[in-house]
Amino acid sequence: MEFDFSREPGRVKLDRELIQPENPLVSIVTPYYNAGEYFIQTYNCVENQTFPWFEWVIVDDGSTVQEDIELLDKLSSADTRIKVFRQENKGVSSARNKGIRQASSEIIVPLDSDDLITPTYLELLYWALYYNVDCAWAYTDSLGFQNQEYVWEKTFSIKTLKKDNFLTLTAAIRKKDILEAGLYDESEKYAYEDWRLWLQLLALGKKPVKVCEKGFWYRRIEGGVSSIVREDAKKKKKALKKIKEIAGTVSDDIEARVFPIASPINEYVKPKVSSWKDSVFQKKDKIHIMMLLPWMVMGGADMFNLEVVKGLSKEHYELSAILTEHSPNDWRQRFEEYITDIFELPTFLEVKNYAEFVSYFIISRQIDVIFLSNSYYGYYIVPWIRKEFPDVVVVDYVHMEEWYWRNGGFARTSGNMQNIIDRTFVCNNGTQQVLERNFGRSLESVETLYIGVDKDKFDASAYSYGAVKMRHGIDKYRPLILFPCRIHPQKRPFLMFEIAQKLKKIVPDIAFLVVGDGPLLSELKAKVKQADLVHTIYFAGRQDEMQPYYRDSFATLICSIKEGLALTAYESCSMGVPVITSDVGGQAELIDKTSGIVLPLLQSEGQDYNYSVYDEKEIQQYVKAIDHLLKDKKTYEQMCINCRKRVEADFSTEVMIQKLDGRIQELIQDVVMVKERKRRAEALRKIDAIIDDYLTVYQEVANVDSMFKEGYSLGTKSELMRIANSQWGKRIIKVVLKLKLNKIFR
């Protein structure tokens, strides 16, 4: 999903009723000169900050436009945290310096009157500096917007900075350090004053910490202050001369702390409860839910999470999200439509500090409910949370059991939390039975909650037939089989290939369309080309809007070796497109003989997960099923009708949200459950050291895992794991160990 520059922060002022404290921990400093055109959006950005412990020092640098002066007076009078000072026109450096001197906190955030910051900007940088006491300033990645649109993610390099300023003005700087550096240079009204300040700080041996989030929006307009220097040869030459002089005093050995980073190994730091006492809210009249998730990326689990934050009533719920895994999080903007407080822990914290920040968040947001899904760190911190926060309800959602991974995947970890988690929701009855039968969960502690689908969004009547076929050069009369998934061993893409190859022999005009990407995509494309099937199997890549693809399809193929209950099955049914699926997970709970075809799995999940050679019987059952539907038009047409009816009756997100809302209310209000949570917390406090060490050991494991992740790309890691788990990979490993070749690399 490409970044959407139209979603600028500050378009509207959020009415979240946060406090306006008198004890600022951060001081925003803004020069203001006839700035009315864009200032309201900057004002909204500041007012929308999730961290209310700030003051905003605005220095009116001799404005002459009466309307702009009146606008500043009007907006500043609405918030006691805004302090306005006035001076005759002396330039931005003078105005910033005046603001810095007037600031009452120890952290300065320079912000121009037309630029923007994301809602979590101050909070991210405050905590980045809090945990990195040896760093003088903290900054984020940035964006250019308006006249030029770009993402600005630059690797920190002293050598580069001496020649080219890749840093932006806005950052969080310790006041004592900016004063020691001599503030901004006022000797020239227009110069590279912010670039010079960064070099001056570095010349003093001070280093920055970089938070890897896109937190700052730099407005690109014609005639900006920076262009005055760039376009005036004399001014530019003079400014660069000063830069060269100070750059010569900067050591090349200084390194920034760039997140995500791993802590030194073998530290085994005990988790710490935050000493924070205050809430960000003026009053509490909603249920506050903290979602504890790994990431926000394209996938069925993330779509479910999105439907939860979208569907739960904003009148009754205040939702937030803590993300525990490093990821591009390219669906974050989707979540930001519904929630403001989103924190990606790896972008600004070391693993050893996660627990303290999470406890701070629980306290400052007055969290009532933790909703956990697919986060290993989340599972290992909840016993500690239960011990420290006995009143908090903890629920989790398990999408499937995975015997090929960690002996059950998240189902195994959830299963071990019988006395910690208040309620476990699962996406199908099969997984519920696994948790009860294999992992000892009690019947009343696990409940099936179908993910469902937005039936109004996935409605075939809203889409015209033929657009996708036309785009890919497929004749509109050709039957099209849709294969929408991540191209990964779990989805068995090479079984799809075998099915297509065999089906083409009896249905020459059949077409398959692969929608998705993944680690096996290149290999699959190569195999299609080698078999001369490029006009049978087509590739669309990853798509964010799937409706047109279902609309043009005859049927959807899901031949996975493992599923919970695939989101694509819900979507396909909602669009009135029958599903042909392997009998895995809860697929048969949605797809019955009236809405598709369910076929037996003839491979073993544990033994054949990475095995891409398939029994002819398994291939042929899919070939025959598709051929049968193509020939039996009456049955097919009725299936299309039945698919939609099943979703409308029992499998819509509306049904899911109603059920989830009811269960959350029950868990909070049930007197027996309230007493039980307190009893469990008391029991855990009796083994306090063990619970702390349980999390400590996992933090060390996660830290080592972080080192591995940052050393290799996600694609490389996935491919290495796939090879290692394949039959040939296992044989090679056995030979290596038998011959003791592994000792060579020690």
**What confidence tens digit (pLDDT) does each residue in 676-708 have?**
999 999 999 999 999 999 999 999 988 887 776
Q: Kindly give the interhelix angle for 714-725 and 727-738, rounded to the nearest 10 degrees.
A: 80
> Alpha-carbon distance 512 to 480, whole Å?
6
Share of the chain above pLDDT 70, in %: 93
Is 19 inside a domain boundary?
no
Contacts of 12 (CB under 8 A, 6+ apart): 44
Is 48 inside a domain boundary?
yes
Find the Cα–Cα–Cα–Cα dihedral 465, 470, 473, 477, rounded to 10°.
30
**What confidence tens digit (pLDDT) does each residue in 207-236 have?**
999 999 999 999 999 866 666 666 667 777
pLDDT over 90 at 714, yes or no: no
Is 468 inside a domain boundary?
no
> Alpha-carbon distance 276 to 717, whole Å?
39
**What confidence tens digit (pLDDT) does each residue in 597-617 have?**
999 999 988 788 877 889 999
Contacts of 537 (CB under 8 A, 6+ apart): 497, 500, 511, 512, 513, 514, 528
Domain C-terminal end among 243, 258, 273: 258
Please give the pLDDT value at position 356: 99
Closest CA to 187 of 133, 113, 239, 126: 239
| 586 plus 440 within the same structural domain | no
Q: And the tokens for 470?
A: 């036309």
| 202 plus 74 within the same structural domain | yes
Is 5 inside a domain boundary?
no
Closest CA to 698 of 181, 271, 252, 172: 271
**What confidence tens digit (pLDDT) does each residue in 531-566 have?**
999 999 999 999 989 999 999 999 999 999 999 999
Please give the pLDDT value at position 229: 62
> Alpha-carbon distance 221 to 232, whole Å?
17
- Total domains in the fold of the chain: 4
Residues in the chain: 746
Please give the pLDDT value at position 406: 87
> Alpha-carbon distance 20 to 701, whole Å?
40
Closest CA to 251 of 216, 201, 322: 201
- Contact (Cβ atoms closer than 8 angstroms) between residue 537 and residue 528: yes
- Give the DSSP letter string of 714-726: HHHHHHHHHHHHS
Q: For tokens 């739960």, what's the residue?
A: 312
Say which CATH number the domain at 499 has.
Answer: 3.40.50.2000
Residue type, 550: Y
Please give the pLDDT value at position 744: 46
| 145 plus 216 within the same structural domain | yes
Question: What percentage of the chain's residues is helix, strand, coil (to nearest 5)?
Answer: 45, 15, 40
pLDDT over 50 at 717, yes or no: no
| pLDDT (mean) for 654-673 | 96
Domain C-terminal end among 627, 651, 675: 651
Residue 511: beta bridge partners? Answer: 480
| 201 plus 309 within the same structural domain | no
- Convert 413-424 to b/e letters by CB count within 10 Å (16 or more is b): bbbebeebbbbb
| 719 plus 733 within the same structural domain | yes
Please give the pLDDT value at position 713: 46
Closest CA to 152 of 172, 166, 137, 162: 166
Query: Which residues span the domain enclosing 445?
Result: 287-452+657-691
Please give the pLDDT value at position 187: 84
| pLDDT (mean) for 730-735 | 70
> Alpha-carbon distance 687 to 271, whole Å?
15
Share of the chain above pLDDT 90, in %: 85
| 439 plus 500 within the same structural domain | no
Q: Is 177 exposed, middle or buried (0-12, 13-18, 19+ CB in 10 A)?
A: middle
| 599 plus 683 within the same structural domain | no
Please give the pLDDT value at position 711: 53
Q: Evaluate if pTM is beyond 0.85.
A: yes
Please give the pLDDT value at position 225: 63
Closest CA to 349 of 123, 516, 540: 123
Is 282 inside a domain boundary?
no
Is 462 inside a domain boundary?
no
| 582 plus 555 within the same structural domain | yes
| 644 plus 739 within the same structural domain | no
pLDDT over 70 at 458, yes or no: yes
Look up residue 27 and give its DSSP letter.
Answer: E
Average pLDDT, the chain: 93
**What confidence tens digit (pLDDT) does each residue in 403-423 have?**
878 888 999 999 999 899 999
Three-class SS string for 275-295? Answer: CCCCCCECCCCCEEEEEEECC
pLDDT over 80 at 177, yes or no: yes
| 425 plus 359 within the same structural domain | yes
Say which CATH number the domain at 254 has.
Answer: 3.90.550.10
| 506 plus 644 within the same structural domain | yes
pLDDT over 90 at 189, yes or no: no
Q: Is 127 exposed, middle or buried (0-12, 13-18, 19+ CB in 10 A)?
A: buried
**What confidence tens digit (pLDDT) does each residue in 484-494 have?**
999 999 999 99
Is 230 inside a domain boundary?
yes
Residue type, 362: I
Report the SS3 class of residue 362.
Answer: helix
pLDDT over 70 at 739, yes or no: no
| 54 plus 137 within the same structural domain | yes
Is 687 inside a domain boundary?
yes
